[in-house]
């Protein structure tokens, strides 16, 4: 029973002054009970640790073999004096020229195979995040007023949305489309969707091309992701048409992949860049808020209205070695986790119609629990790739002990039932955790034992811009750059999760100290942040 109770948390919520009924004029309170994020660090599955080590061995084979060969060669050469070494080389070359030439040919062939099979480094040249105009900015009170004026919601639905907003961690300067603000009609039309898409995508791309001084015609790969809005022609085709990009561009449009689609798009762009040398790739991540605006009364489908806000990011990647000096970051690792084989995970974020045939996004009450399970799998696989050897050794030793002996202990030693919790703060200097909601960020911070400083970028992004879906992790990195916190050699962990259910991680290494950019969505307010959220 104790362990079951630990899965829930309770809080007292002030619901304000009762406006009607027998208790009119009195303060009312309610007790809210939530299911906690599972304590996934206490239930690690050994097979995912094995998978992480499998990745490490596949990508680190040269790091292990080359030092061994160098040690053997050095030992052999070190046993000879300089005269003996020259004498041996001269005699071998004089009497066994064929062997010398064959050895040299093998050496050249091995070196060629090594450099040809070595994955090309992927550089992040720069990125841009779209900042909408001030006329689209709404406070929480204005948001409720917009919903009330639409005439689509009853008082119960309005009160529910207000309670969600006030405890969401979202501030009073987020952005929603003009169609939602000004219209009382259905905003989920193709015309309104295209108008919003053009605004956010072209705004981000204009800034990206200006910052990098790269012409749209120089881009050879384009990957666009947008979960809900997928018109024909596609969003990628809209970009190609607007910028008159070249005819042989490799373009891809990802739909329905949720808030983690930004990392999936980077992974796809990386694979394409590996097969196409000397190329640029642009990754665009966005979501259309107006097109997904729900106007019904189903409470589980009203939640996305409260959290999702306008946003878009555009990222320029390159595999050209000449871009080494001007790149901001180098791609280190990508780890993807998909729990779609499980029915509960598959349906926890589900687009469907309600009883009135109104389309919306339904959020399951099991979302936090399912997300915790996906996150556990993802970070367990990522650990062997990024954690220091000392952390890996302690973590792996306790895990194997529990696997073999079931965590048994004698009277003189403490129980090993509880595994050693790796310190991920030793693996990364900066954390960009998808700004989904305050509750999810709270539980992630508790389970990963992160500091308030580690979570600052995520919480401030949620407060200033809301949940911008797949682009949120780039607004968080923009926050760190605006604060001038990223230095040469720093490692950045971007973590996102979304429908399906998916949890994805990408690790970047800073190539240089990042000074405050001339274009950044935080520049007009960075001096006010961080703000207190209590």
At 390, which helix (H) or strand (E)?
Answer: helix 389-405
User: Annotated catalytic residue: which of 45, 242, 276, 338?
Assistant: 338
User: Annotated catalytic residue: which of 226, 259, 348, 432?
Assistant: 259
463 catalytic per annotation? yes
User: Annotated catalytic residue: which of 292, 378, 430, 504?
Assistant: 430
Question: Integer distance in angstroms from the first to the last C-alpha of the chain?
Answer: 32
Q: Which residues contact 344 (CB under 8 A, 6 or more apart)?
A: 364, 366, 370
User: Annotated catalytic residue: which of 434, 447, 503, 504?
Assistant: 434
* DSSP sequence for 15-69: EEE--SSTTTTSEEEEEEEEEPPP-GGGS--HHHHHHHHHHHHHHSHHHHHHHHH
- Which residues lie across from 418 on neighbouring strands? none
What is each CA distance from 332 to 26, 266, 270, in whole angstroms? 57, 12, 11
Residues 56, 433, 281, 481, CA torsion sign = negative
User: Annotated catalytic residue: which of 306, 463, 503, 520?
Assistant: 463
CA atoms within 13 A on the CB side of 286: 36
Strands 502-510 and 329-338: antiparallel
User: Annotated catalytic residue: which of 253, 467, 504, 520?
Assistant: 467
At 492, which helix (H) or strand (E)?
Answer: strand 491-498
432 catalytic per annotation? no
59 catalytic per annotation? no
Residue with tokens 């970047």: 508
403 catalytic per annotation? no
What angle do the packed helices 452-465 and 438-448 form, to 10 degrees? 170
By three-state DSSP, how is residue 293 classified? coil
- Catalytic annotation, residues: 259, 338, 430, 434, 463, 467
């Amino acid at each position: 029973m104790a362990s079951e109770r630990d899965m829930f948390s309770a809080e007292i919520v002030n619901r304000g002054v009762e406006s009607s009924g027998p208790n009119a004029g009195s303060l009312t309170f309610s007790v809210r009970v939530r299911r906690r994020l599972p304590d996934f660090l206490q239930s690690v599955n050994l097979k995912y640790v094995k998978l992480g080590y499998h990745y490490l061995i596949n990508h680190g084979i040269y790091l292990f073999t080359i030092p061994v060969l160098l040690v053997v060669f050095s030992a052999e050469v070190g046993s000879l004096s300089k005269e003996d070494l020259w004498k041996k080389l001269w005699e071998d070359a004089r009497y066994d020229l064929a062997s010398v030439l064959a050895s040299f040919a093998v050496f050249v062939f091995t070196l060629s195979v090594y450099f040809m099979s070595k994955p090309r480094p992927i550089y992040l040249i720069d990125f841009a995040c779209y900042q909408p105009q001030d006329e689209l900015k709404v406070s929480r009170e204005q948001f409720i007023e917009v919903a009330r004026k639409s005439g689509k919601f009853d008082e119960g639905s309005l009160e529910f949305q207000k309670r969600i907003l006030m405890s969401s961690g979202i501030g009073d300067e987020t952005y929603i489309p003009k169609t939602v603000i000004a219209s009382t009609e259905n905003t989920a039309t193709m015309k309104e969707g295209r108008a919003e898409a053009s605004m956010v995508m072209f705004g981000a791309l204009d800034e990206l091309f200006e910052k990098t001084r790269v012409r749209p015609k120089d881009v050879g790969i384009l990957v666009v992701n947008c979960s809900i809005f997928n018109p024909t022609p596609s969003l990628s085709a809209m970009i190609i048409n607007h910028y008159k990009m070249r005819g042989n561009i490799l373009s891809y449009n990802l739909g329905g992949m949720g808030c983690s689609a930004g990392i999936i798009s980077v992974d796809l762009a990386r694979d394409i860049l590996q097969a196409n040398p000397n190329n640029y790739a642009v990754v665009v991540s966005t979501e259309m808020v107006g097109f997904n605006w729900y106007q019904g009364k189903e409470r589980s489908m009203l939640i996305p209205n409260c959290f999702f806000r306008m946003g878009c990011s555009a990222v320029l990647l390159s595999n050209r070695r000449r871009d080494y000096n001007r790149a901001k970051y180098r791609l280190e690792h990508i780890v993807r986790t998909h729990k779609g084989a499980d029915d509960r995970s598959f349906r926890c974020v589900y687009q469907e119609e309600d009883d009135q045939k109104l389309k919306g996004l339904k959020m399951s009450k099991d979302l936090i629990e399912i997300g915790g399970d996906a996150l556990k799998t993802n970070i367990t696989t990522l650990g062997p790739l990024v954690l220091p050897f000392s952390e890996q050794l302690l973590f792996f030793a306790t895990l194997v002990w529990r696997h073999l002996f079931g965590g048994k202990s004698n009277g003189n030693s403490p129980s090993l039932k509880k595994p050693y919790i790796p310190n991920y703060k030793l693996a990364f200097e900066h954390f960009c955790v998808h700004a989904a909601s305050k509750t999810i960020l709270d539980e992630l911070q508790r389970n990963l034992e992160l500091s308030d400083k580690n979570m600052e970028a995520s919480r401030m992004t949620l407060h200033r811009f809301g949940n911008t879906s797949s682009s949120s992790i780039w607004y968080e990195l923009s926050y760190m750059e605006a604060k001038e916190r990223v230095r040469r050699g720093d490692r950045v962990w971007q973590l996102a999760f979304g429908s399906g259910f998916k949890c994805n991680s990408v690790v970047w290494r800073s190539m240089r100290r990042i000074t405050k950019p001339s274009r950044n969505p935080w520049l007009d307010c960075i001096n006010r942040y961080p703000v207190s959220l209590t």
